[in-house]
Chain A
């Protein structure tokens, strides 16, 4: 299988200093977690909420609370765009600008003074989820009965344009290393690996400056290959093992480096995850940069805060990176923990119309999950053959669409096939 380097466009957002946007008049907290809207609402109009108050809770196997990111009053419910491109019901909270926490929050604690059970409970109650874009509840990864042998910290940032992980990791390197050490101690993990792209010299330099005293934490430099950012591919590359569903099944936990910082905040101050660093970038923004933003803030406000748009017409707003993100029809998009990038672009795809497939085989050659996208596309109406082509393996990395010289939206077709054979995302 071949690999593709997609390191371009990173500099656009990293050359400007990261900023903070923390004074929204209102926040809109969506009643959805990942793509699951099976949520119990815990507040009503008129209720006063503290910063970090649990205002809703996801039901089912992946139970996790949803917190208020400000202190203020619930003023109602409105529909806003969520990063899946759909309008979702949100709790609207008016900010009193007091940033008041309820109780016991902000008390410094020794990071290692937690039992494994307390640690898992803390991650759950603080709503720590994967910040690499998945939003998968982190506590689930540590709850496995299997012994964890390796903790992999993913600092690869696979997608083009996105730099929030690197910028956060470089500025909070000490805290992140302290958190990794604590996680290892609490969970009895013998080894931790921080995976960074060889080309990310700045981050490598910073980590090298601090890592000296942490003998069990290794910094591993990986080649600048797009699909290595995916958990399965990274585990395969670093540990030479493959697994079906969860890396925990083979005794490995993978956390994004920004997630580790969220764990630090939870362990040290018991702060729930209510804000994150997001990359606002793209050629249609005046001042692309990384911004620390509270959950529930409207993207439009942040864009205005950082200088607005360079051009107004014929632009696209993408929630997420350019490979896996989704175009959103309006700036009424809300910030959530799993939103790592807001990309505003002059559309460069779609300018060229799709041509007939020339059977170049690039989509097959490069697919990281060994699928044959072009054949899947050709057999969309042949359920029997489609099943044998196993479209459900697709991780939706978008490489097939990116590489197609005929400009065919191959991934969309594989997604369609996936639905036809009943595979989930």
Chain B
């Protein structure tokens, strides 16, 4: 009689562990880093707008975030979980995503401090709740926003974030009293193609819609992306902004402009669909995308925030348990879920109409005032 090792099955497992998944994501994010280096370093250098330091600054910018997240991860790991296996690529990826959403002229000290916050926050959530409820990357981002606000204090001589915002297309659009038109909000940056290719102001590596979409498609084929989240989020923003634009007689370019501007596409792929802070059930993911899309539109049109995408992505994951609870039960009642989804979409579009009408009224009021001033 021979004895054998025991243990529960399954006795074969997929080769794809977290480490391999992180390495795969890392390789893809490197493509975005490369784009950022070309857009922010190489092209300005070739057109002699910057010198050698300007050429290398974008890579230094990203590296500073990456190295900091890695270092802090190593330290936290040694202090808190020395016996567990460490996945270096996980912290590197967080570092990359975090730096890519920042504007290039964020002071390096801020970048490094924010990167530390990203990792410390992740450990803090895990230790305290066993789960991460808010995106660590966005916590780092909000931390930097806070530092920017502090920089108003005269002793700190850093750039004012509003100045940064004004440079972006959405920032520009927010300075116009109505919704704007193609000449006022798109043409200053070239054409919509420039938006799609990513040669417009914005985060360090978030502007190329084409690249982001290609990476999303690749990740979806590799079954490594919760694709419903970016799809529904973008579709919701598109649908709503289309309705809003229709009330002001703006054509299809308007919703496209709304989608291609800001951090919406990059954020919905790499931040909103980030595994740990997004729902696990397919229907939960659809709900999450719907709410995210609606909140982005609300923030863009009804608050002083110009982009709103990252802020919405910071808030919505708080409701993940609700989305997942509904999603898990609804899986057993598929037809009912589809009907509920259609009703929800209808209501969302109605809501978009409401925003559109409000805008239209505002435009009319402005027109009347202008006419009155002219008459006077």
Q: Do A and B bind each other?
A: yes
Q: Are A318 and B1 in contact (CB under 8 A)?
A: no
Q: Known: A300-B1, A332-B1. Contact between A348 and B332, CB under 8 A? A: no
Q: Are B8 and A330 in contact (CB under 8 A)?
A: no
The 0/1 profile, CB within 8 Å of B marked 1, for residues 337-354 of chain A is 000000101011110110
Whether A326 sits at the interface, judged by CB under 8 Å, is yes
**Stretch from A167-175, A201-209, A402-410 at the B interface:** A402-410
The 0/1 profile, CB within 8 Å of B marked 1, for residues 1-27 of chain A is 010001011000000000000000000
Whether A135 sits at the interface, judged by CB under 8 Å, is no
Cα distance, A160 to B9, chains bound together (Å): 13
A386 to chain B, nearest CB (A): 11
The 0/1 profile, CB within 8 Å of B marked 1, for residues 390-424 of chain A is 10000000100111111101011000000000000
Whether B336 sits at the interface, judged by CB under 8 Å, is no
Considering only CB atoms and an 8 Å cut-off, how many residues of chain B contact the other chain? 41
Chain A hits for B285, CB < 8 A: 361
CB nearest to B16 among chain A residues: A405
Cα distance, A359 to B9, chains bound together (Å): 21
Whether A335 sits at the interface, judged by CB under 8 Å, is no
Chain B hits for A323, CB < 8 A: 9-12
Cα distance, A371 to B328, chains bound together (Å): 7
Whether A327 sits at the interface, judged by CB under 8 Å, is yes
Q: Are B4 and A329 in contact (CB under 8 A)?
A: yes
Q: Are B18 and A372 in contact (CB under 8 A)?
A: no
Whether A315 sits at the interface, judged by CB under 8 Å, is yes
Whether A103 sits at the interface, judged by CB under 8 Å, is no
Q: Known: A360-B275, A385-B325. Contact between A316 and B6, CB under 8 A? A: yes
Cα distance, A348 to B10, chains bound together (Å): 10
Whether B13 sits at the interface, judged by CB under 8 Å, is yes
Q: Are B9 and A350 in contact (CB under 8 A)?
A: no
Cα distance, A364 to B284, chains bound together (Å): 11
Contact of B4 among A328, A352, A412 (CB under 8 A): A328
Interface of A (DSSP majority class) = loop
Chain B hits for A160, CB < 8 A: 12
CB nearest to B276 among chain A residues: A359
B224 to chain A, nearest CB (A): 8
Chain B hits for A316, CB < 8 A: 4-7, 11
Chain A hits for B10, CB < 8 A: 322-324, 349, 398, 401-402, 411
Contact of A330 among B4, B279, B282, B324 (CB under 8 A): B4
Q: Are B327 and A372 in contact (CB under 8 A)?
A: yes
Contact of B280 among A315, A359, A403, A412 (CB under 8 A): A359
Chain A hits for B8, CB < 8 A: 327, 409, 412
Q: Other than A349-B12, A363-B280, A372-B324, give 5 A-B pairs with Cβ distance below 8 A.
A: A300-B1, A329-B6, A331-B2, A359-B280, A407-B17
Give 12 CB contacts A-B under 8 Å.
A315-B5, A323-B9, A326-B9, A329-B6, A330-B1, A330-B4, A331-B2, A348-B11, A359-B276, A370-B331, A405-B20, A407-B17
Residues of A whose CB lies within 8 Å of any CB of B are 2, 6, 8-9, 85, 160, 300, 312, 314-318, 322-332, 343, 345, 347-350, 352-353, 355-356, 358-365, 370-372, 374-375, 385, 388-390, 398, 401-407, 409, 411-412
Q: Which 3 A-B pairs have the closest CB atoms?
A: A361-B280, A372-B328, A322-B11
